[in-house]
Amino acid sequence: MTASRRPTLLLILILLLTGCRGADVWRHTEIVPIQPGQTLHLRVAHAVNERLPRMTPEQLSTLLEATRNTALEHFGVHLEFSEITETSVDAVLALVPPKVRQVRMREIYDFKSGGGDHKRLVAGILHTLHERKTKLAEALAYARPYLPDTADPQSLQEFSVLLADVMLARLDDWRTIRANDGKPVLDETARNEWIFWDTVGYGELPYDLVITNQLLASAEYTAVEVHTAIRGGLTTGTTTFSRSSPLGSFVFWSTFPFTDTSAFSRSLRGGEDYAPSHAAALSGAYLAHEVGHLLFKFGHPFGAQACVMNPASMLRYREWHQQLDAQRCRIGSIPEMRVGAIPEIYNVEWLRMAHQP
């Protein structure tokens, strides 16, 4: 993006309305402008599950450098990262306020015991498709190569049923993967549950970016995206609310999809494994996708292969990276690349509960 044609960039900040009154449970964020070339500082942690393979300090350095370079090329922002604080997955998840945790547990589809509500899962996927203003033709074109050959949904409702079934089937495949100790990666703990990672920011989280080696694969009754569903509920990363971040949001990011060498992960990568340095560089480039959500609340331009905000197909990160072209996907050039395309929201009631003794 040339300096003469670079648009004014916008940074999304949240007004923490902990003392607000009103009937609405959900509040939207506010948008304030910043100048092109803004330098932003992100506080970084590495949350480790000792049962799983982890990136080395050298790989993490490569990862962050790739994020920095990709964000500058595609968004025109300069990123600075703190020294990486090492912590544990359990320590991060313990920051979820207990009362909020209790409420959010109701949104988890219990695929481990088989006690989930399939109709409610479908309804939740459909709600998210509508909320994201999803166009059936575009989403279907993106997902079709990874759906059953006979799949031919004629509506978003039918597409939601299909996505639910595909997600649950592939979640069973994630359950076959073994950790370093020979036991299933998806064990009896809640470390894999997206819901709890999504709620950490309602506690006192002192980071803007949490990198983890944890496999995040789960099913929820809320916020299931198309690309997440076809991967079997796997989340590479999410940008979500943080009451303690100057940005109003934080990113959690899993390196597991880039480093796992199981047959299932390899199949979703198109038969590929990555060398350690390549895995780190690809993970960092793809992390810039979350930076786009964090700073600008860009959407997902499914199928716009030049755009960093186009989700990678399955786990084909190398293929995704090779197709990027910042000149062909400028900020504001398409609806999903406009600031605030997916406006950030947070739950006022959860904030209130987080403050209660």
* Predicted local confidence at residue 4, as pLDDT: 28
pLDDT band at 46 (very low <50, low <70, confident <90, very high): very high
pLDDT band at 112 (very low <50, low <70, confident <90, very high): very high
Mean pLDDT of 60-84: 97
Domain ranges of the chain: 3-355
* Predicted local confidence at residue 28, as pLDDT: 76
**To the nearest whole number, what is the mean pLDDT of the chain?**
91
Per the DSSP assignment, residues forming a β-bridge with 128 are none
Q: How far apart are CA 197 and CA 357, in angstroms?
A: 22
Contact status, residue 214 vs residue 47, Cβ threshold 8 Å: yes
Mean pLDDT of 157-186: 97
* Predicted local confidence at residue 252, as pLDDT: 98
pLDDT band at 125 (very low <50, low <70, confident <90, very high): very high
At 313-331, the pLDDT tens digits run 999 999 999 999 999 999 9
Mean pLDDT of 75-86: 97
At 273-316, the pLDDT tens digits run 999 999 999 999 999 999 999 999 999 999 999 999 999 999 99
* Predicted local confidence at residue 33, as pLDDT: 57
DSSP collapsed to 3 states, the chain? CCHHHCCCCEEEECCCCCCCCCCCCEEECEEEECCCCCEEEECEEEEECCCCCCCCHHHHHHHHHHHHHHHHHHHCCEEEECCCEEEEHHHHHCCCCHHHHHHHHHHECCCCCCCCCHHHHHHHHHHHHHHCCCCHHHHHHHHHHHCCCCCCCCCHHHHHHHHHHHHHHHHHHHCCCECCCCCECCCCCCCCCHHHHCCHHHCCCCCCEEEECCCCECCECCCCCHHHHHCCCECCEEEEECCCCCCCEEEEEECHHHHCCCHHHHHHCCCCCCCHHHHHHHHHHHHHHHHHHHHHCCCCCCCCCCCCCCCCCCCCHHHHHHCCCHHHCCCCCCHHHCCCCCCCEEEHHHHHHHHCC
* Predicted local confidence at residue 9, as pLDDT: 36
* Predicted local confidence at residue 2, as pLDDT: 32
At 1-28, the pLDDT tens digits run 332 223 333 333 333 333 333 347 888 7
CATH number of 3-355: 3.40.390.10
Mean pLDDT of 149-161: 97
Mean pLDDT of 326-345: 92
Closest CA to 195 of 233, 248, 227: 233
At 236-280, the pLDDT tens digits run 999 999 999 988 899 999 999 999 999 999 999 999 999 999 999
From residue 145, how far is each of 42, 142, 149, 312 by CA, in Å? 37, 7, 8, 13
Mean pLDDT of 81-89: 98
pLDDT band at 31 (very low <50, low <70, confident <90, very high): low
Mean pLDDT of 44-49: 98
Mean pLDDT of 110-133: 94
Sign of CA dihedral 104, 109, 114, 120: positive
Residue 133 has pLDDT above 90, yes or no: no
